[in-house]
A and B are shown apart, each in its own frame.
Chain A
């Protein structure tokens, strides 16, 4: 399309402004993570570390149980992702293929569940899990994460199921394959990429989640990374900037990597779920 030179220049200027706004906090975080203590104490901080060091990372691991926290986060996130996809896929299939009251009610729940303030759900959950002795335990947290990931998982998976032509299944049925057989050998392989994308998204959500973990996990050895990260923050102000930045940077890496892999699929899935057939 024809765009005048002035307009083009304006567009580039705007894009540049966006780039700076989006990037600078992250640049600052990474830069802080690699700065030696002397530079962090300087009254005139520089954008980039002059003498980059790994001291902050070493110190961060010494101050807080980051390995244990990462392991807890990993278990919680993997558990949530696998279970969420396992229970959501069959349900999404029914929601996509059958226009029943149940499917409608489920869609309604997906939408309405977005509006609950978590505080209304967390108090009863806290009481219930406490009675089941699942409080302060990673399995208890996984259960909560599964249900918490379900609306989005269902939303995406319904879109993916709709993208699989029903004729294929009918053909299999004509050939005498039973329902479960059809599902496992015809539909599932075609859904696989969508299922993986959904699982990865559930993984990131659980890896990043803070509120439920804060309420449900009290013992320091059982806490997940986001909760442990807040221990670096003193009661008043920040105690130690370097290790804080280093730990925060490390905690972000898994989400960033996973997210980079699935980002396109998630966008596609969100819109696919929105298309009503």
Chain B
């Protein structure tokens, strides 16, 4: 799973192109069609339609026909400070979740790779956040953060650190509080992937390095990390995208409040489209989000790949 695959994807597949190795006979087409039709109709088609909508004044429940308005939506977006605020929050959230998620997951994966007791318990527990519906994760953490009946404030009070606070409604605490939930929810999946990557690293190299007297940190840097890097790169790239596009968690936790402090771009676009019915404008937001994600991803991949050459 590399970004290169995405970049190289060529234009339309030519049916029956002459080369003998692509002699996908009619049987193969028959096999592909059941998946291809829904993909084209419900994924590729809507995507193109969505991009087209961004250049129209489409609204919900309008009687007069929709018109092409060129780049007017994008010009409006440029001056929409609320949208850019939301965008900034989205980036803060995506990076703020992805980085700790990765570091914590790496730590846990390294621990689980050791011969420790209770390992089975940690593995079992790691499943829980992964399997849970996001809505339930949100509800669960609302119970934890609840100002009166929540366990967090009770712990704060027990430790004599004051009366606690209303975490999800505080202007300063809301975003950090939802970021913690994001990290919690996504960490297990990352851990499992990293752990699988770790178990593919050559044991002998590790032991040889230990024989040579390399300390734990050196062994990690010279043996483990080079082997793990491709997996780490792929998983952080995917996490970054998923986190930037995330919706359900924050919708349940704060609905974007207080005062828009946690209004991720997806929430903003959702409200624009399905509360205010501004389909065209919301589609333009979607386009901008794709563009920014692509740039971010390119930076991430290029930066990491370059950083890898001297390691």
Seen from chain A, the residues whose Cβ lies within 8 Å of a Cβ on chain B are: 1-3, 7, 11-12, 14-16, 18-19, 21-26, 28-29, 32, 40-45, 47, 86-88, 90-91, 93-94, 98-102, 104-109, 111-128, 143-144, 146-147, 150, 154-155, 179-180, 183, 204, 207-211, 214-215, 225-226, 229-230, 232-233, 238, 241, 244-245, 248-249, 251-252, 255-256, 258-260, 263, 267-268, 270-271, 273-274
Contact in complex: B154, A44 (CB < 8 Å): yes
- By a CB distance below 8 angstroms, the chain B residues around A120 are 47, 50-51, 283, 286-287, 289-290
Using CB atoms, name the residue of chain B closest to A100.
B22
**With A117-B269, A121-B46, A147-B43 as contacts: A94 and B31 at CB distance below 8 Å:** yes
Complex interface: chain B residues within 8 A of A155 (CB): 1
Within the complex, the shortest CB–CB distance from B116 to chain A, in Å, comes to: 6
Q: How far is the CB of A131 from chain B (nearest CB, A)?
A: 12
Known contacts A40-B149, A127-B279, A263-B127; A19 and B122 CB within 8 A of each other:
yes
Contact A111 B139 (CB under 8 A): no
Are B133 and A225 in contact (CB-based, < 8 A)? yes
Nearest 5 A-B pairs (CB), nearest first? A108-B9, A120-B286, A259-B131, A90-B31, A124-B46
* Cβ–Cβ < 8 Å partners of A118 in chain B: 245, 247, 266
Min C-beta distance of B244 to chain A, whole Å: 8
- Does B223 belong to the interface (CB within 8 Å)? no
- Kindly state the separation between the CA atoms of A260 and B141 in the bound complex, as whole angstroms: 22
Query: A29 near B34 (CB under 8 angstroms)?
Result: no
- CB contacts under 8 Å to A, within B9-31, are 9-10, 12-14, 17, 21-22, 24, 27-28, 30-31
On whether the beta carbons of B5 and A107 are closer than 8 Å, the reply is yes
Q: Across the interface, do A88 and B35 meet the contact criterion of CB distance under 8 Å?
A: yes
**Interface of chain B, helix or strand or loop or mixed?**
helix
Q: Are B35 and A119 in contact (CB under 8 A)?
A: no
**In B112-136, which residues have CB < 8 Å from any A CB?**
114, 116, 118-119, 121-122, 124-136
Report 17 cross-chain contacts, Cβ distance below 8 Å, ordered by A residue. A12-B116, A18-B108, A26-B128, A28-B143, A40-B149, A45-B149, A91-B36, A102-B32, A111-B5, A117-B265, A119-B269, A207-B133, A208-B135, A226-B133, A245-B143, A258-B131, A267-B192
User: Smallest CB–CB gap between A194 and chain B, Å?
Assistant: 16
CB-based contact B129/A22 at 8 Å: yes
Minimum CB–CB distance from B61 to chain A (whole Å) comes to: 11
Known A22-B128, A117-B244, A128-B45; 4 more pairs at CB < 8 Å: A3-B114, A104-B5, A124-B50, A215-B274
Q: Are A123 and B133 in contact (CB under 8 A)?
A: no
A111 in contact with B127 (CB, 8 Å): no
Which residue of chain A lies nearest to B183 when distances are taken between CB atoms in the complex? Answer: A21
Given known A11-B111, A104-B8, contact A19–B1 (CB-CB < 8 A):
no
Contact yes or no, B9 A109, CB < 8 A: yes
Roughly how many angstroms separate A91 CA and B127 CA in the complex, as a whole number? 30
Q: Give Cα A1–Cα B44 distance, bound, in whole angstroms.
A: 52
Residue B229 is within 8 A (CB to CB) of chain A in the complex = no
CA of A261 to CA of B8, assembled, Å: 37
Identify the interface centre among A115, A120, A225, A255: most chain B CB within 10 Å of its CB: A120
Contact B125 A23 (CB under 8 A): yes
Residue pair B44, A109 in contact (C-beta under 8 Å): yes
For residue B140, CB closer than 8 A to chain A, the reply is yes
| A117/B286 in contact, CB under 8 A | yes
Smallest beta-carbon distance B86→chain A, Å: 12
Chain B, residue nearest A7 (CB): B216
Q: Smallest CB-CB separation from B286: which chain A residue? A: A120
Contact between A14 and B107, CB atoms less than 8 A apart: yes
